[in-house]
Amino acid sequence: MRRSLITIAVVLIVGHAGRIVDGVELVGAARWQATVAAGRPAPLALDGQTAVLPKDHLGREYLLIITIGNSSHRRFLPTIFTAGPYVHFARVGATLELVADTRGLAFRPNTAPRIIGTFPITGETSKALHFTFHGSNIAGLAPTTVHLRSQLTGNGWATIETVEQLTDEDGPITRVVRYTLKEPPTPDFQALVVPAELRHRYFTMDRFLPSWEVPMELAMRWEIRRPISFSISPNTPLAYRAAIREGALAWNAAFGREVVTVDVAPAGVTPGDPRYNLIQWVEDDGLVLARGESVADPLTGQIIYAMVEIASGWAILSSAESRALEMTSADGSTMSLEGLQSAVRCTHDVAQFSLDPLHAVVQQLGTDKRQALAEQRLRAVVMHEIGHVLGLRHNFAGSLDTAFTQEADAEDLASLLEGTRLPGAPLPSSSIMDYLPLQDDVRMDRIGKYDEAAIAWLYGITASSTDLAELRFCTDDHLATAKDVPEEPKIADCQRYDHGMEPIGRY
């Protein structure tokens, strides 16, 4: 076993509004970054190489989010983990425990709370506990050495960034990780129970509350009385920012108004910063992989935080080496944390694109046309991943729900390559949540009719699901390869990367 160098950033956001009496005196005004806006105090502060927790924050509920934001591994995407239920700090002798409750969990309503992390207490005053990350254990990460590097604070939250060294079977690595404790969101948010006939179409949370007779599945969705704001990461190349922005904004067509907004995050913003729902550019031309991740309130399903990661291999169509690079695209890094749930809603790994016959044609195009196709490909993948963090699951039947004949399809593709394809041309799938071959992906210039109907029901734009039910649908659970859900019926023509109403005709 070799030692690994791990960088860990801890984001802690308070659960309930509370007042720290003379809190600044605990560590000095220069170190304590004061509360903003409505006046909820930051729950943690740094005092040299120790962290400080006000005693009146013991027992308060938080939402835990852990973001591993960077790694020295060449192929690594930022990854979010959550505890699932709420967590709180509890003192047990000389140890501070971070405890996950089980309130509201559908299948474990009477299970004892579990410990997510432990921290040695190094000192205390009448109003606060001082604790260290040396000798701590957080979701199975037990670093041997820790350096507390920096802190951010906001309205009821604090970020502590640490540099940690520990033993790892993969050898020496460096990671940036942020642990987020976020206050329960809007108290008047209306939870949406998803009926059985629609449950496969949306990301849901199984919950059991005391007032319910049976467990219910709550939809994961945003509060849309205010904008859903995404920020393009500052390392994103200027040439691709417009395409990424347009891909995210395309979802406003489903809402019928401006709900989704997009800006560019300030320089220095990195994954796990709770102030930004990032669309994170990952610089790796050999990686054609994208992911959507979201975190929701465990009792209501309200989405409170999201991140989309786009590897730069999606844009490599503009390079003459794209075919060779994409043949090596399938080794995106993954990891797990003990006792925590991954927030990943989709891992879109498109090594299959390396076999797409359109690649040979693309390499014969001029630079400008290749660049235009690369930008359209980015729009499509951003639309797909934003769809996930809005709450939609895959729909692999979208390609079967199109009116394209093989002749019309060939003519449409030719017009695209010639640069004469008109806006509003028929789409090769009824859903951007499909997995499509390259020749179809680059023609998905807007969301499909399925996507509009799915958003309309999820966000209460329409109370009826009739339009939705009439559109063809299947998802991951229905694939013949979905061995982890044997109870779900498999659908023979539920396929990824198929093409048109008669996909066998492609071959």
Strands 260-264 and 228-232, how do they pair? parallel
What value does the mean pLDDT of the chain take?
77
Is 92 exposed, middle or buried (CB count within 10 Å of its CB: 0-12, 13-18, 19+)?
exposed
At 255, list the tokens. 């809402």
Q: What is the pLDDT of residue 17?
A: 29
Neighbouring C-beta atoms of residue 341, cutoff 10 Å: 13
Asked if residue 153 lies in contact with residue 167, where contact means CB atoms within 8 angstroms, the answer is: no
The predicted model gives 101-129 an average pLDDT of 79
The predicted model gives 41-52 an average pLDDT of 82
| Contacts of the segment 351-357: beta carbons below 8 A, 24+ positions apart | 351/288, 351/326, 351/327, 352/437, 352/496, 352/497, 353/288, 353/326, 353/329, 353/437, 353/438, 354/323, 354/326, 354/327, 354/329, 356/437, 356/438, 356/439, 357/439
Neighbouring C-beta atoms of residue 385, cutoff 10 Å: 27
The model's confidence at residue 433, banded by pLDDT at 50, 70 and 90, is: very high
DSSP summary character for residue 304: E
Asked if residue 163 lies in contact with residue 69, where contact means CB atoms within 8 angstroms, the answer is: no
Domains and CATH numbers, the chain: 2-22+35-182 (no CATH), 196-506 (3.40.390.10)
Q: Is residue 73's pLDDT more than 60?
A: no
Q: One-letter amino acid identity for 318?
A: S
Neighbouring C-beta atoms of residue 324, cutoff 10 Å: 12
Asked if residue 57 lies in contact with residue 72, where contact means CB atoms within 8 angstroms, the answer is: no
Chain segment 292-351, per-residue pLDDT in tens: 999 998 888 999 999 999 988 887 764 444 444 333 333 444 567 777 777 777 666 555
Q: How far apart are CA 118 and CA 133, in angstroms?
A: 9
Q: How far apart are CA 406 and CA 409, in angstroms?
A: 5
Chain segment 190-203, per-residue pLDDT in tens: 889 999 889 899 99
At 326, list the tokens. 């994409």
Chain segment 264-280, per-residue pLDDT in tens: 999 999 888 889 999 99
Between 354 and 25, the more confident residue is 354
DSSP summary character for residue 193: B
Q: What is the pLDDT of residue 10?
A: 39
Sequence-separated (6 or more) residues with CB below 8 Å from residue 292: 306, 307, 308, 344, 345, 346, 384, 385, 386, 387, 388, 389
Cα–chain-centroid distance for residue 87?
Answer: 20
pTM: 0.86
DSSP labels, 73-92: SSSB--EEEE-SS-EEEEEE
Which of 146-150, 433-437, 480-484 comes out lowest in average pLDDT?
Answer: 480-484
The predicted model gives 142-153 an average pLDDT of 76
Helix H or strand E encompassing 455 = helix 449-458
- Torsion region of 448: left, alpha or beta (phi above 0 gives left; psi -120 to 50 gives alpha): beta
Q: Is residue 37's pLDDT more than 50?
A: no
The predicted model gives 233-255 an average pLDDT of 97
DSSP labels, 2-32: EEEEEEEEEEEE-SS----TTGGGGT-TTTS
Asked if residue 448 lies in contact with residue 456, where contact means CB atoms within 8 angstroms, the answer is: no
Neighbouring C-beta atoms of residue 463, cutoff 10 Å: 7
Between 249 and 368, the more confident residue is 249
Q: How far apart are CA 165 and CA 144, in angstroms?
A: 6
Between 35 and 187, the more confident residue is 187
Q: One-letter amino acid identity for 193?
A: V
Helices (H) and strands (E) in the chain, counts: 9, 22
At 31, list the tokens. 């170190």
- Shortest CA distance to 474 belongs to which of 434, 505, 426, 432? 434
Specify which of 65-79, 426-440, 475-489 reaches the highest per-range mean pLDDT.
426-440
Strands 114-124 and 128-131, how do they pair? antiparallel
Q: Is residue 225's pLDDT more than 70?
A: yes
Asked if residue 175 lies in contact with residue 70, where contact means CB atoms within 8 angstroms, the answer is: yes
Q: Is residue 1's pLDDT more than 50?
A: no
Q: What is the pLDDT of residue 154?
A: 72
Cα–chain-centroid distance for residue 167?
Answer: 28
Q: One-letter amino acid identity for 167?
A: T
Q: Is residue 390's pLDDT more than 90?
A: yes
Buried b (16+ CB within 10 A) or exposed e, 12-44: bbbbeeeebeebeebbeeeebbebeeeebbbbb
Chain segment 201-218, per-residue pLDDT in tens: 999 988 766 666 677 889
